[in-house]
């Protein structure tokens, strides 16, 4: 089983927690992590890629586990000093070691390197064997239209702490093509996995790329999603509030509807077992088990379940 190939569509924290376990079950070099770049933002002159960094830091064993983002035991001297000059510039918290990543990335991109090329180099430096690929090398931003106006997703999430009411989610881009290797990864994988990430702002941007969505729709391999909702609650992030604001049910049923036509099965938590029939009426198989990932062993066990269930 370790020789099978898997493509994983990735947001940040939820995806990283599953990937860490999957890399113990499948050879890391056989895993293709296609990562959302809609969260990317240019701040203080730096190109910041939150989801890419969460994925690479996690796979490198560097992530601050209590937060799920940033580098463990990082210091915040730069941001503290910057606050003395202008606190308005410090709404996006950057650790000192984390800043080194942004400086390195921005420097190379300013020299003409693509985001994919830089990401590959960062993975090489951090000894990450999983093939981490940005969903696109083109500029792409997820915007949230709220009662306070339209804003970048990071402004909504971090600066305003999810307080505005979400009216609509917009994807801002011009030319939109997947990064080199993205479609090929989907086509040659034995399984496609959608982790318990936010389907609206983490997975949604990836699926917004027409060639990516079409590749998944015509898939020859099995496609499975893990619900990010357990017992009517979201483990982490803004999904619950977003669904509520958009008048959508906070339920695995909603997740299955969003991914309709793109998945063959969904794994939901045992506490949601009563929803199995409703989801399967739509032609999606349902598997129930504990899907809460609190430690690495949970991740490994869930990864083993996925591989043994869908690739045996």
User: Can you tell me the mean pLDDT for 254-275?
Assistant: 98
Q: What pLDDT is attached to residue 1?
A: 61
> Up-side HSE of residue 5: CA atoms within 13 Å toward CB?
11
109-157 pLDDT tens trace: 999 999 999 999 999 999 999 999 999 999 999 999 999 999 999 999 9
Low-confidence winner among 59-68, 217-226, 279-288, 299-308 (lowest mean pLDDT): 59-68
Using N-to-C axis directions, what is the helix angle for 13-25 and 50-59, rounded to 10°? 30
Mean pLDDT, all residues of the chain: 97
Sign of the CA dihedral with 189 first, then 173, 205, and 108 last: positive
Beta bridge partners of 288: 268
For residue 201, the model assigns a pLDDT of: 98
Q: Which of 121, 99, 120, 119 is nearest to 44 (CA)?
A: 99
The number of beta carbons lying within 10 Å of the beta carbon of residue 143 is 18
- DSSP category for residue 190: S
Q: Which residue reads 């409703």 in tokens? A: 278
Cα–Cα nearest to 119, from 209, 41, 50, 204: 50
- How far is it, in rounded angstroms, from Cα 31 to Cα 305? 16
Q: How far apart are CA 59 and CA 61, in angstroms?
A: 5
Mean pLDDT within 295-312: 96
Which H helix or E strand runs over 284? none
Average pLDDT over residues 193-213: 98
Provide the Cα torsion 57, 60, 63, 68; round to 10°. 70
Q: What is the mean pLDDT of residues 195-213?
A: 98
Give me the architecture of the 6-138+175-310 domain, per CATH: 3-Layer(aba) Sandwich (3.40)
Q: How far is CA 287 from the centre of its chain?
A: 22
Give residue 246's pLDDT band: very low, low, confident or very high (50, 70, 90): very high
Provide CB contacts within 8 A for 281, sequence distance 6+.
none
For 78-90, what is each residue's pLDDT tens digit? 999 999 999 999 9
> Per-domain residue ranges for the chain?
6-138+175-310
pLDDT of residue 67 exceeding 90, the answer is no
Q: What is the pLDDT of residue 175?
A: 86
Give the pLDDT band of residue 159 (cuts 50, 70, 90). Answer: very high
Q: What is the distance between the alpha carbons of residues 268 and 115, in angstroms, rounded to a whole number?
A: 34
Instruction: Tell me the average pLDDT across 10-35.
Output: 97
234 Cβ partners below 8 Å, 6+ apart?
228, 240, 250
For residue 112, what are the contacts with CB-CB under 8 A and spacing of at least 6? Answer: none
Structure tokens at 246: 């958009």
């Amino acid at each position: 089983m370790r020789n099978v190939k898997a493509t994983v569509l990735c947001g940040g924290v939820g995806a990283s927690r599953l990937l860490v376990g999957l890399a113990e079950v499948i050879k890391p070099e056989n895993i293709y992590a296609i990562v959302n770049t809609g969260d990317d933002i240019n701040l203080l002159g730096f190109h910041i890629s939150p989801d890419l960094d969460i994925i690479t830091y996690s796979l490198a064993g560097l992530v601050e586990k209590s937060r799920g983002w940033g580098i463990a035991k990082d210091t915040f001297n730069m941001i503290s000093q910057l606050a003395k000059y202008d606190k308005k510039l410090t709404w996006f918290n950057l650790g000192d070691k984390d800043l080194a990543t942004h400086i390195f990335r921005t420097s190379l991109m300013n020299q003409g390197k693509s985001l994919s090329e830089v990401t590959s180099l960062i993975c090489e430096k951090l000894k990450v064997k999983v093939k981490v690929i940005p969903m696109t090398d083109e500029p792409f931003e997820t915007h949230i239209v709220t009662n306070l106006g339209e804003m970048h997703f990071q402004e909504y999430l971090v600066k305003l702490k999810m307080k505005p009411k979400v009216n609509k989610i917009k994807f801002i881009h011009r030319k939109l093509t997947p990064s080199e290797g993205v479609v090929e990864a989907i086509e040659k994988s034995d399984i496609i996995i959608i982790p318990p990430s936010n389907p609206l702002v983490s997975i949604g941007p990836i699926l917004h790329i027409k060639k990516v969505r079409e590749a998944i729709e015509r898939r020859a391999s099995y496609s499975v999603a893990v619900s990010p909702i357990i017992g009517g609650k979201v483990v982490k992030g803004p999904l619950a509030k977003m669904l509520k604001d958009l008048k959508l049910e906070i339920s695995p049923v909603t997740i299955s509807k969003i991914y309709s036509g793109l998945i063959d099965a969904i794994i939901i938590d045992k506490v949601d077992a009563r929803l199995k029939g409703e989801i399967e009426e739509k032609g999606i198989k349902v598997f129930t088990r504990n899907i809460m990932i609190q430690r690495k062993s949970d991740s490994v066990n869930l990864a083993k379940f996925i591989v043994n269930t869908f690739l045996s």
